[in-house]
Structure 1
C-alpha cells in the first residue's frame, strides 16, 4: 500500500481520539504523506470535504472512534473503494474496529501497511432508493440535477423504516414486497433490513438471526410486531425489498441508515433496498482473526466466560 494521501477521522468530542489523530498525522507527514484530518460525529461529517479537496486518490482512511464512527466512514468511502483502518478509541462494543493495543505502536503500523503485511475484509453494503408509486426511476428533488444523488442512500449495518414523533409513540403499518411479490403487512414499531454485518446490531436486538459477516444475504426483521406470526426472514442478496408505508397521514415514517436519519417517506412513495454495488473494505491487523472469536468476546458467550479443557478432541 502507498501512503501518499491519507484521511484521519477522529471521534468528535473525544480528546483521546483527537490526540492520537494528531500524533498519527505528524508521523505520516514525516513519511511525506499528505494528511486530511477532521472530527466525525452526529453533527460533524468531514467526508464530503475530504473527498472534494483531495487532488489525488486517497490511499487509506484511518478512523479513530467506535462502531458509529466506522459506520459513517463506510457509508461515505465505500463507493470510492477506500480501505478503512478503524481503531476503537472512545468506543464501546467495537465490533468493526481494531483494538487500540494493536494500533498503539503506530510507527510499526505504518511499516506494516507499506510492506502489505495486513488483510482486507470486504463487507456487503446496502443501498436504498426512494420511488414514487410503482415507477422504477428515481424522482429528482426540486432543482437538484442528480436524482441518483438525491435519493440514493448507503448503509453498512441496516436500513430501518420506522416512524418518529416528538410527542407520542406511533404504531406503523408497513407492507413488504420481495421481488415484486407482497409478502406480509406488519403492524408494529417498524422494519429492519439488515446486512450480515448489521445482523449483530439492531437486528439481533429485535430477535433477528445472526448471519456470518462474509455472506451475501439480507435479513428482514419486524420490530415489536403486534402479530406473533410476524417473523424475521433471510433472503438472497440479489433480492429487492420494497417497503410501503400505509395509513401514515401525519407523515411520520422515516428511512434510517445505520441509525442516522435518511429521509422522510411520503404517502405513495416506497423504499427499495438491495445489495449495493460497492463493498466496505476494512483493514485487519490482528493475527489469527476469527469472526467467531469476535462473537464470543463482544456478545459474552459462554466460551468467553468459562474455560475448561475439552480432552475429547484428542
Structure 2
C-alpha cells in the first residue's frame, strides 16, 4: 500500500483520540504523505470536505480513531469510494469493528507494515436505500441514496409522545406482512450484533451475505425475524401515518422523513466496506465472546475428543 494521501478522523470531543490523530498526522507527513485531519461525531461530519478536497487524487487509506460509531460514519461515506479503513479503538466503548489499541501503539511499525502489505483486508456487506414514489412496478426515486454498514431502521419519532407504527413490507414484489410496533430493522450481518441483536434478531457471521429483517417490539407474539438472500429487494412503507412521524435512520443517524405515498426500498449496495486487519489471528467467535460477555460452559474439559473433564 502506498501512503501518499491519507485521511485521519478522530472521535470528536475525545482528547486521547485527538492526540493520537495528531501524532499519526505528524509521522505520516514526515514520510511525505499528505494528510487530511478532522473530528468525526454526532455534529461533525468531515468526510464530504475530505472527499471534495481530494477530488482529483486517490485516497490510499482512512485511519479512524474512535469507537464503533466513528467507524459506521466512516463506512457510510468512504465505502462507496472504495477507500480502505484502518479503525482503531481509541476512546471507544464496545469496539466491535475496531482493531485493538495495543496493536496500534507502535505507529511507526504500523506504517512499515502497511507499506510492506503485511495486513489483511476484510470486506463487509453494506445496504443502500432510497425513497420512492409512483406505482409498485415502476417506482421513481425521489431522494439521495443512503448507505449503512449496520442497519436501516424505520420507526416513528415524535417530540411529545411515543407513537406506534404500522409498516407494510414487500420482498421482491410479494407482500410479506404488516408490522405494528416500534418499527422495523433491515440489517446486514455486521449489524446483526447491534440494534438487531437488542431486538432479538439473529446473529449472522459477517462472511455471510444476507439481509436480516427484525421487527422492533411488535404487538404480536407471532411476528418473527426473517433472513433474506442478499439479492432481495425490500420495500417498506407506513400505513395511516398522517402526521408524518415515520423516519428512516441509517446506523442510528437520521436520514430522512418518509412522507405519505412514499416507500423505502432497501437492497444490497454495490460497494463494500474494506477494513484493514492488523491482528495475526482474528476470530469472529472470540469477538462475540469478549464483546457480548458470553460466559460459556461452567464445566471445562480437554478438547481432544475424549470429553475428559478438567477440575
1:185 is matched with 178
CA distance, structure 1, for counterparts of residue 151 and residue 141 of structure 2? 21
Distance in structure 2 (CA, Å) of the matches to 1:4 and 1:200: 35
2:10 and 2:112 map into 1 onto residues whose CA distance is 21
TM-score using structure 2 length: 0.95
What is the distance in 2 between the residues matched to 1:186 and 1:107? Answer: 52
Q: Secondary structure at the match of 1:268?
A: coil
Q: What displacement does 1:137 show?
A: 2.4
**Coordinate RMSD, CA, aligned:** 1.2
Whether the 8 Å CA contact 1:127–1:154 is kept in 2: the answer is yes
Q: Who is 2:300 aligned against?
A: 308
Equivalent in the alignment of 1:136: 139
Quick one: distance in 1 between partners of 2:181 and 2:21? 43
Partner-residue secondary structure (3-state), 1:289: coil
Q: For each residue in 1:16-43, what CA deviation from the matched residue of structure 2 results, as whole angstroms up to 9, or x when unmatched?
A: 0000000000000011000000000000
CA 306–80 in structure 1, closer or farther in 2 if over 3 Å, else same: farther
Cα separation, 1, equivalents of 2:290 and 2:97: 13
| Structure 1 counterpart of 2:247, from 248, 254, 257 | 254
Question: Which sits farther off after the overlay, 255-264 or 130-139?
Answer: 130-139
CA contact (8 A) 1:133 1:270 kept: no
Determine which of 214, 217, 224 is the counterpart of 1:231: 224
The residue that corresponds to 1:147 in the other structure is: none
Structure 1 segments of 4 or more deviating over 3 A? 305-309
Partner deviation per Cα, 1:238-283 (whole Å, 9 max, x = no partner): 0000001001011000000000000000000000000000000000
What CA distance in whole angstroms lies between the structure 2 residues aligned with 1:109 and 1:313? Answer: 40
Please tell me whether the aligned partners of residues 211 and 228 of structure 2 are also in contact (alpha carbons under 8 angstroms): yes
Structural mapping, 1:89-168, within 5 Å: 89-134=90-135, 135-139=138-142, 150-168=143-161
Alpha-carbon offset, residue 308 of structure 1: 3.5
Q: Give the Cα–Cα distance (whole angstroms) in 1 for the partners of residues 254 and 236 of structure 2.
A: 17
1:54-112 deviations in Å (ceiling 9; x for gaps): 14100000000000000000000001100000000111110000110010100000000
Task: Provide the C-alpha distance between the structure 2 equivalents of 1:45 and 1:284, rounded to a whole number of angstroms.
Answer: 24
Q: Aligned in 2, Cα 1:65/1:306: closer, same or farther, shift over 3 Å?
A: farther
**Using the alignment, how far apart are the partners of 1:293 and 1:313 within structure 2?**
21
Query: Where does the alignment leave 5 or more consecutive residues of structure 2 unmatched?
Result: 307-311
Shift of 1:133: 3.4
- Report the Cα distance in structure 1 between the residues aligned to 2:300 and 2:27, rounded to whole angstroms: 44
1:174 aligns with 2:167: yes
Aligned length: 303
Structure-2 residue corresponding to 1:242:
235
CA positional deviation for 1:129? 1.1
- Asked if structure 1 preserves the Cα contact closer than 8 Å seen for 2:134 and 2:140, the reply is no
Mapped to 1, the partners of 2:3 and 2:290 lie a distance apart of 32
1:277 corresponds in structure 2 to 270
Quick one: structure 1 residues 99 and 311, their matched pair in 2 at CA, closer, same or farther if it must change by over 3 Å?
A: closer
The TM-score normalised by the length of structure 1 is 0.94
